[in-house]
Amino acid sequence: MASKAERPISPHLGIYRRGVHMMASITHRATGFILATAGMLTLLWWLSSIGGGEESYQTFLTYVVDAGEEATGFQTASNWFFRLLALGVIFSFFQHLFSGIRHLVMDMGAGFELNANRTSAWLVFIAAFTATGLVALYVIYEYLDLGA
């Protein structure tokens, strides 16, 4: 029996020419990880803050959304941390959603032709960036008053 460590180990990340379909695959995994950790932990915090009553909900808003006029430096930093995180989570949501739909189509055996596969991988990224941009613009104009 050959030594275990010397066998080539899948996936062979180093040997393929890089392409957009490869990026779509690795990004799908990375965005899945972001949603599983940052996305779900924030959702759990939000849910428990609702159940915890008015005060605990206000704590969530203060640290995550907006600390208001009398914000401490830490709270302002926390707000901007969560705004950037939200941007990342929203992009991750759309990328994982569109890429996931692409995977479900490919599971039926469709879309494996080189051109179709490359085009659909590009479409996933374009759709994800567009949707993220639209949500960000909506939030900025509706809630942050940065455009005023």
What residue ranges bind another protein (CB under 8 A)? 9-11, 29, 32-33, 36, 40-41, 43-44, 47-48, 50-54, 57-58, 93, 97, 100-101, 103-104, 107
Residue with smaller CB distance to another protein, 48 or 130: 48
Tell me if 123 sits within 8 A of 105, measured CB to CB: no
Q: Whole-angstrom Cα distance, residue 64 to residue 49?
A: 12
Distances (CA, A) of 103 to 29, 58, 76, 106: 12, 40, 40, 5
Helix (H, G, I), strand (E, B) or coil at 129: helix
| Residue 44 vs 84, nearer CB to another protein | 44
CB of 41 to another protein, least distance (A): 8
Name the token pair of 145: 């008053």
User: For another protein, which is the closer residue by CB, 21 or 96?
Assistant: 96
How far apart are the C-alpha atoms of 77 and 71, rounded to whole Å? 10
* C-alpha gyration radius of the chain: 20
- Least Cβ distance, residue 116 to another protein (angstroms): 21
CB of 13 to another protein, least distance (A): 9
Closest distance to another protein from the beta carbon of 54 (Å): 5
Q: CB-wise, 36 or 137, nearer to another protein?
A: 36
* Closest distance to another protein from the beta carbon of 71 (Å): 18
Q: How far apart are CA 75 and CA 14, in angstroms?
A: 43
Which CB, 39 or 121, lies closer to another protein?
A: 39
Residue with tokens 């960000």, as numbered in its chain: 136
